[in-house]
Amino acid sequence: MEAIILQILNGLDKGSAYALIALGLTLIFGTLGVVNFAHGALFMIGAFCAVTLSRILSLSHTVIDETRTDFLGNPAKVEVPYIYDFFGPEFGATLIDWAVPLSILFAIPIMIAVGVIMERGLIRHFYKRPHADQILVTFGLAIVLQEVIKAFYGANPIPTPAPDAFTGSFDFGALIGMDPYTVIYPYWRLLYFVFAMIIIGAVFAFLQFTTFGMVVRAGMADRETVGLLGINIDKRFTIMFGIAAAVAGLAGVMYTPINSPNYHMGMDFLVLSFVVVVVGGMGSLPGAVLAGLLLGILQSFASMSAIIELIPGINQVIIYLVAIVILLTRPRGLMGRKGVMED
Amino acid sequence: MVVIQREEYMKKSNLTRRGVLRSGAALGAGLAMPTIFTASSVSAFTNAPGDSSVTLGFNVPQTGAYADEGADELRAYELAVEHLNGGGDGGMMGTFSSKVLQGNGILGRKVEYVTGDTQTNSDAARASARSMIEKDGAIMITGGSSSGVAIAVQGLCQDAGVIFMAGLTHSNDTTGKDRRANGFRHFFNTEMSGRALAPILKANYGTDRKAYHLTADYTWGWSQEKSMRTYTEDMGWETVNSVLTPVGAGDFSSYITPVLQSGADVLILNHYGGDMVNSLTQAVQFGLRAAQVNGKQFEIVVPLFSRLMARGAGENIKGIFGSTNWHWSLQDEGSKAFVKSFGTKYGFPPSQAAHTCYVQTLLYADAVERAQSFNPCDVGAALEGFEFDGLGNGPTLYRAEDHQCFKDVLVVKGKENPTSEFDLLEIVEVTPRETVTYPIDHPDFQGGSLGSCNPGA
């Protein structure tokens, strides 16, 4: 029982990341009709926003501390962050400690700008081209973005820890009347799930309850008619691309304490997120979220040692097996709409 | 008339149609054959150096899970080359028991080097080693931070006829079933780690423990798990479960969460590099170190430790036992000289990977000088059975039968109160060489033989 609860919890955080990336992918596909293979790179750029802010906050100058010696016996050189000079050591240390949550504010404008530039600068030239061309150009863009990040930050994972307040773990077992220490789950992973749900809720609310969202939904249903009514739907779709980029970026920012970011982390998630979109149903936002969480949990169960012993290697292929079964039984995916990508 | 003249001309110049075809075919075959197999036509061994310089090939992971180790290895190699060429303060050349290295290169030739990226991938490592041998004329290949890579490159060097001085490789197989006459390992192995660690674990955690292994799924991980199981089970521990994890998994949470349910009270992490940093950090995040199981405090053991990993894992390393080949805080003259040279040049102390790579380069150069030859078979013979001191590990023997170095092994523990960002491990015990020396017919090292040395001729 404990094992099952734990694997569900395990699946929720990874599933949340899948859901957030897949949500953005579906938004872009639904609005612009573009299959965006650069979406994983947006997740990665978001994570590197956290790395960048953390480095900016930690920019230091060297001070010689005569009271201490270094490993060679010379007076120790101590790095003092500039932020200590500006705000005092205590508040400065707190700011550095909270670099990842603060990066949310830092990442939103950057990611929207990156998304808008991507759409206006490159992707809009490919709207009327076949999907294969769109896949090729966005995949190429993803590789370029990866290499740019690699050139600036190197190839190694960069540890980006969560604030001290979130480094512990939550005894879930004790809460539901089990023995203590049987179901323990780190605070940050729980926070990631809650954060993902808030973002998903906010995107749905934005589309459902605002005039802007209503126009976008109308545009998704019938772009031509909305255009004929005198509404500049292209501009709104560009903004939606920016929002989708921000959603992927925020997923990346918050994922950094779970897994140290590196330049190819986006690719690792991209392929699985596409499977999530297809399983959820092309163009279906709730389908993307549902499939993301479901496949995350399934992958987590498949990693249990009892299951691996039974079917070796199942943890590597489970998502693809499920995708095959769902596409055979429900060709449009779990919540797919008729007519999407069927022309 | 014309025909007769042509026949006479061909007879005179020995040119016939068949002769031309035959020569053309021979020339074509010669050109098509990789240079690696044709060295014999110009010298007795592969990549014989000229009179002015000699090229060494440093094959290290510059990307991937072990890239931190690779970067430090490269720093050590550059330092070794500087010292061999007479630059810097000479480092451990001054403390080395053999005194033939004079700082004038190797056999009077200036040492140059080329580098390759193994990517911690056997195919990529073989490709970069091959390129350094074929295109750059490297006479010796060294480096690496993974046993899978070391074994692959060692095999390639054997076939190509160059010496392979292994970098960081800890699997028994490197000098066990996969040993080769052209390959030499200074680093210790999992058998030695097991022998050194077991008495310390027994003294600290007792004999009634249940262990759960998470193991990197490649030759080193399997070897490490086997050695730890052998020695912990011998002292009464029960192995509850062992799970193989893919290298570079990143998120180990689904492997860690079942540990507490298994009834285990010790987690043995047979992981290294970035994988170990991630798995240990996540094990601590999941509350394992705070847990009480079977009425005992839950413990984590990391059989192979390095300071670079300790830095990545931060606070999580405190109080955790492991073993290591060398540590910068050692106070023998060799270690002090190396730390001084490396620290002065780079601003931080060297890792164990840097140490073994620096030492391997000096040992190779020394063997060439003693043999007065670059021929790999002469160099190999000079290394076999070589007894030396002053390189940071106390008296050391390069055993002739398996090309494995035998020396003291360090048992270390994550320091509770570090005084600096480098002061992360404390040495708990220096296990003497006699304790970690195993017989050549040890069952875990069977299944292979050195074969005969290949000079590439």
We report the CATH number of the domain holding residue B134 as: 3.40.50.2300
Tens-place pLDDT, residues A295-327 = 988 888 887 777 877 887 787 788 899 999 988
The predicted structure's pLDDT at residue B56? 97
Is the separation of the CB atoms in B45 and B39 below 8 Å? yes
The predicted structure's pLDDT at residue B43? 62
**Range with lowest mean pLDDT among A38-47, A222-231, A330-339:** A330-339
Cα end-to-end span (Å), chain B: 51
Q: Is A273 helix (H, G, I), strand (E, B) or coil?
A: helix
The confidence band for B22, taking pLDDT boundaries of 50, 70 and 90, is low
Q: Which residue out of B145, B215, B254, B351 would a mutagenesis test of the A interface target, given it has the greatest number of A Cβ atoms within 10 Å?
A: B254
Please report whether residue A134 resides in a domain: yes
Please report whether residue A73 resides in a domain: no
Please report whether residue A322 resides in a domain: yes
Closest Cβ opposite residue A7 in set B62, B257, B285: B257
Percent of chain A with pLDDT over 70: 98
Tens-place pLDDT, residues B385-415 = 999 999 999 999 999 999 999 999 999 999 9
Residues B201, B139 within the same domain: no
CB under 8 Å to B53, separation ≥6 — which residues?
B105, B109, B110, B111, B112
Closest Cβ opposite residue A303 in set B255, B340, B344: B255
Residues B309, B350 within the same domain: no
Is the separation of the CB atoms in B163 and B380 below 8 Å? yes
Closest Cα to residue A77, out of A65, A89, A59?
Answer: A65
* B253/A156 Cβ within 8 A: no
* A189/B258 Cβ within 8 A: no
Query: Which ranges of B144-210 does DSSP label H, i.e. alpha helix?
Result: 147-160, 190-205
Is the separation of the CB atoms in B164 and B180 below 8 Å? yes
Please report whether residue A116 resides in a domain: yes
Range of the domain at A245: 2-56+81-329
Residues B238, B299 within the same domain: yes
* Neighbour order of strands in the sheet with B425-431: B238-245, B210-216, B266-270, B299-304, B321-324, B409-414, B425-431
In this structure, which long-range contacts are made by residues A115-121, counting pairs with CB atoms below 8 Å and at least 24 apart in sequence? A115/A42, A115/A241, A115/A242, A115/A243, A115/A244, A115/A245, A115/A246, A116/A238, A116/A239, A116/A241, A116/A242, A116/A245, A118/A38, A118/A241, A118/A245, A119/A32, A119/A238, A119/A241, A119/A242, A120/A238
Closest Cβ opposite residue B292 in set A10, A72, A181: A181
Boundary (domain end) residue, out of B377, B407, B437: B407
Please report whether residue B5 resides in a domain: no
- If one counts every other C-beta atom within 10 angstroms of the C-beta of residue A136, the result is 14
Residues B303, B340 within the same domain: no
* A182/B260 Cβ within 8 A: yes
Residues B105, B179 within the same domain: yes
**Range with lowest mean pLDDT among A27-31, A173-177, A260-264, B184-188:** A173-177
CA-nearest residue of chain B to A184? B286
**B307 CA to chain A: closest CA distance, Å?**
14
* B253/A189 Cβ within 8 A: yes
The predicted structure's pLDDT at residue A169? 84
CA-nearest residue of chain B to A181? B291
Residues B311, B335 within the same domain: no
Asked if the C-beta of A71 comes within 8 angstroms of chain B's C-beta atoms, the answer is yes
The backbone region for A25, taken as left when phi is positive above 0, alpha when psi lies in -120 to 50, beta otherwise, is: alpha
Please report whether residue B175 resides in a domain: yes
Looking at every residue in chain A, the average pLDDT score rounds to 88
Looking at every residue in chain B, the average pLDDT score rounds to 89
* A76/B285 Cβ within 8 A: no
The confidence band for A342, taking pLDDT boundaries of 50, 70 and 90, is low
Chain B neighbours among A 296-315 (CB < 8 Å)?
A: 299-300, 303-305, 308, 315
Closest Cα to residue B64, out of A219, A228, A196, A154?
Answer: A154
More confident residue, A226 or A102: A102
Asked if the C-beta of A163 comes within 8 angstroms of chain B's C-beta atoms, the answer is no
* B62/A72 Cβ within 8 A: no
Average pLDDT over residues B427-456: 94
Q: Residue B37 above 70 pLDDT?
A: no
Residues B179, B289 within the same domain: no
Tens-place pLDDT, residues B107-129 = 999 999 999 999 889 999 999 99
∠ Cα A49 A52 A53 (to 5°): 85
Q: Residue A199 above 60 pLDDT?
A: yes
The predicted structure's pLDDT at residue B31? 46
Tens-place pLDDT, residues B52-70 = 999 999 999 987 767 788 9
Closest Cβ opposite residue B340 in set A7, A72, A169: A72
CA-nearest residue of chain B to A185? B286
Please report whether residue A342 resides in a domain: no
The predicted structure's pLDDT at residue B13? 44
Kindly list the residues from chain A whose CB atom is less than 8 angstroms away from the CB atom of residue B247.
Answer: none
Is the separation of the CB atoms in A156 and A262 below 8 Å? yes
**Range with lowest mean pLDDT among A74-88, B199-213, B357-371:** A74-88
Most confident of A171-185, A191-205, B245-259: A191-205
For chain A, helix, strand, coil in percent to 5 are: 70, 5, 25
Q: How far is CA B219 from CA A2, A322, B148, in A?
A: 33, 32, 6
Tens-place pLDDT, residues B314-356 = 788 899 999 999 999 999 999 999 999 999 999 999 999 999 9
Q: Residue B33 above 60 pLDDT?
A: no
Q: Residue B95 above 80 pLDDT?
A: yes
The predicted structure's pLDDT at residue A191? 94
Range of the domain at B253: 191-324
Boundary (domain end) residue, out of B375, B392, B407: B407
Chain B neighbours among A 183-222 (CB < 8 Å)?
A: 184-186, 188-189
Residues B392, B338 within the same domain: yes
The confidence band for B39, taking pLDDT boundaries of 50, 70 and 90, is very low
Sign of CA dihedral A46, A51, A52, A57: positive
Kindly list the residues from chain B whose CB atom is less than 8 angstroms away from the CB atom of residue A72.
Answer: 339-340, 343-344
Q: Residue B66 gets which letter from DSSP?
A: T
∠ Cα B42 B48 B53 (to 5°): 130
Sign of CA dihedral B410, B413, B416, B418: positive
Please report whether residue A10 resides in a domain: yes
Provide the token pair at B343: 């620290």
For the question of an ipTM over 0.85, the answer is: no
CA-nearest residue of chain A to B253? A10
The residue whose two tokens read 């930050």 is: A153
* B349/A71 Cβ within 8 A: yes
* B420/A76 Cβ within 8 A: yes
The predicted structure's pLDDT at residue B6? 45
Boundary (domain end) residue, out of B324, B347, B371: B324
Q: Residue B4 above 50 pLDDT?
A: no
Please report whether residue A189 resides in a domain: yes
Tens-place pLDDT, residues A221-264 = 888 888 898 888 888 889 999 999 999 999 999 999 988 888 88
> Torsion angle of alpha carbons B260, B264, B270, B275, nearest 10°?
10
Residues B213, B313 within the same domain: yes
Q: Are strands B409-414 and B296-297 parallel, antiparallel or unpaired?
A: unpaired
Please report whether residue A69 resides in a domain: no
* A316/B314 Cβ within 8 A: no
Please report whether residue B357 resides in a domain: yes
The residue whose two tokens read 């992973």 is: A189
Number of domains making up chain A: 1
**A340 CA to chain B: closest CA distance, Å?**
35
Rg (chain B; Cα; Å): 25
Is the separation of the CB atoms in B389 and B190 below 8 Å? no
Provide the token pair at A87: 């705000």
Residues B196, B312 within the same domain: yes
Number of domains making up chain B: 2
The confidence band for B34, taking pLDDT boundaries of 50, 70 and 90, is very low
Residues B100, B177 within the same domain: yes
Residues B228, B272 within the same domain: yes
| Cα–Cα distance, A132 to A145 (Å, whole number) | 20
